[in-house]
Structure 1
Amino acid sequence: MRADRLISLVLLLRQRGRMTATALARELEVSTRTVLRDIEALSAAGVPVYAERGRRGGFALLPDFRTDLTGLNHDEALALLVAGSGRGEQAFGLGSALASAMRKVVDALPDRHRTVASDAARRMLIDPETDLLSRRQATEPVPGTTMAVVRRAVLAGHRLRIHYAAADQAPTWRTVDPIGLVTVRDRAYLLATRAGADRTYRLSRMLAAEELPEPARRPHQVDLDRAWRDRCAQFLSDGPHLTVLVRVTPERREELARTALAVRAEEPEADGRLRLEVTFQDARHAEWALWQLTADVEVLAPRSVRTALRDRAAMIVARYTETPT
């Protein structure tokens, strides 16, 4: 870990020029004392880093010093820089590692491409925190220590003992065989088996995790995309889910799909609207999601959901018909 930090320190000085020990400590997420020790280690290793005294002082590298990181062309580096603007890395606790990797990517570019790629990446944004209506995207924080243990066990192929709080249940300890990690709309999931049966665990519901020394009982190769599709199909086939038939305007189709569990069928209608067969967790979930779409959606079946939305709309009309006092 220290070797990676030393490389990151050198790259920060190369790309930003003179920096104070405090600024370096903040970027590297260490103490100022650790930065000073790292500077001494770099100097002892022959890296031309020097200190500038005074109010605007700090540490800097000799102008001609360059690290030996090569092999990326402009488009390859740009693709990595743009991908790094998303927030998926936070779901797996890899934010600091990504920042370090991005510094290496930028430094790997030839001088003539470095500024161009950095400027281009700033003009592309993936998955911002809010949408055009200033609504923040829902996120589920996972404690960093728990995420690190889970990630390490998945990559090392070791069994996991997790303290898990399933919905509407008291937390219990479970021993599982981890298969892989999946993130969907800022929710992170662990795909695993327990006693040979497929299981899917939401990481935000893990209160604690312990990596066990014994190897996980899992296949050597895995198609994680296919495994996720199989888990989704299994989830939809299990439990008392509710299927609703609706008409929706094309402009609100994606919003509806995001709030539902799944879109089972879809076909266009003559008036330009779409007829969808949509699955929800239950009637409460369906009524909440469909109410958000106001007049852009119409429930065709079941009648119970249509009636519930009609009654809610009638209450709103009655409330606003009254003259406020």
Structure 2
Amino acid sequence: MNPEHGIPVSPRLTCHPDKQRLYGADTYYQESHEQLAALTGDVTGFAHRHAALLLKPDAVVARRLEAAVDWLTEQRYRIVGAAVTRLSRTMIRSLWYFQWNLATPHRRRLAALFLEDADALVLLVRPEREPYVPASVELTRLKGPTDPDARRPGQLRHLLGRYSYLLNLVHTPDEPADVLRELAVHFDDATREELFRTALAGEDRTAHALELAGRLYADTKPRDLHFDPAAERLRDTVTRHLGALPDASPRTLLETAWDQGLELDPWDAVIVGSSVLPMRVPGRAPVLDGAGTDTWRRHLDVLNARPN
């Protein structure tokens, strides 16, 4: 990164040289890094020791927030910060700016229907033991993959519910650099500073997280995210407006309803659409991606072997 374009990004914050270059000039990353640097002389250590967990609107309406908090406790992660966020259209694209180049138009349309329907909860967490690989990398591994068929018992996404590729309930920043950047995407200076200060103080904010969960529940209706009931409601809606289409598949019903401009329950459209429509453009890779724990161990071994 040329100095006139941005700030240096330590190789201890990401394995990827491309991410170092792009994030150094990224406004969100710069804001978070500069604010944290005013509070501590060890920005890299802070980002290495902390991870973030976004509990999305689907986790809110499915009433799975407490289960996620309990899982974090079982995995020996302490919640050191918690705040509510609203995933607006701009925020959604900012969070996944370097990954949504592979999203289909269907995925973008469906994401807008549910991500903006309710507020979400961000938890800033720290493992009890000092990690060798970054906390964000390990939490991403423990969270489980996007593909519901690839999730395994013990993983957070397996515990919370295997609904679809899109309805995965939680998100974690992949690497330490992503933790810093995404906190700036979600929050203004004041909220972010409070999160940084409580984390630096090592405060246990579990009770506060549960209080916020209760507020989110009070503001939203619970929803069943399973496919069959949603598909049946979709069929009933189409039949009521257009007549019976007994041989139509759920995908045909959804696309027909959209073509005819029918007003659908947004959650039903998301539940059905995320199961029957393509979510990813074949053959396309994200601009930036994360790195697994094995890659990070090798990366850190190389860095630690270098002379000071």
What interval of TM-score do these two structures reach, taking the shorter chain for normalisation?
Answer: under 0.3
TM-score normalised per structure 2: 0.24
- Structure scoring higher RCO (CA < 8 A, sep ≥ 6) equals 2
TM-score normalised per structure 1: 0.23
Q: Which has the higher strand share?
A: 1
